[in-house]
Amino acid sequence: MKVNRSASVPSSVAPPEMFTGTVRRDGLINAERPGRVSTGLVTFEPGARTAWHTHPAGQILIITAGRGWVQSEGQERYEVTAGDSVWIPADERHWHGATDKTAMTHIAVTESVDGSAVTWMEHVRDEDFLRG
Ligand code: MN
């Protein structure tokens, strides 16, 4: 067994190639082989969001603080708040982030397939982020 202590690893700033705005990532524990699940605690400042992306085995998001938006392509944009949880099906193009005015923090739970948990695409344009 391993216990991962809170704040035992420095926070990191999410790379601008994959995110818009200010996004902080804090480490949580990940499965070891043969497990395939990884986790992340991600905080989006107002206006910040992921780029469009897909997950080969889907993803669960658990909103732990604030209020944000999540959207799959061609579907409605959902507003989510602390305590809400979200399932994103495998290979469904989507993004997640803050709202334009409020920060949001979520835990992301993601399984990998052949060593990959995400495929990144283009940034979410401001007009698409705001319109939903
Ligand atoms: Mn995702």
3-state secondary structure 41-76: EEEECCCCEECCEECCCCEEEEEEEEEEEEEECCCC
What is the per-residue pLDDT for 121? Answer: 98
What is residue 59's predicted lDDT score, i.e. its pLDDT? 98
In order along its 132 residues, the chain shows pLDDT tens digits of 999 999 888 999 999 999 999 999 998 999 999 999 999 999 999 999 999 999 999 999 999 999 999 999 999 999 999 999 999 999 999 999 999 999 999 999 999 999 999 999 999 999 999 998
* 72 alpha carbon – ligand 1 mean position (Å): 10
User: For residues 56 and 71, what is the distance between their CA atoms, to the nearest angstrom?
Assistant: 17
Which token pair is 63? Answer: 């909103």
110 CA from centroid of ligand 1 (Å):
8
pLDDT of residue 17: 97
> For residue 19, how far is its CA from the centre of ligand 1 (angstroms)?
11
Rounded distance from Cα 95 to ligand 1 centre (Å): 6
pLDDT at 53: 98
* pTM as predicted: 0.96
Ramachandran sector of residue 8 (left: φ over 0; alpha: ψ -120 to 50; beta: rest)? alpha
CA of 5 to the centre of ligand 1 (A): 25
Residue 81: per-residue pLDDT: 98
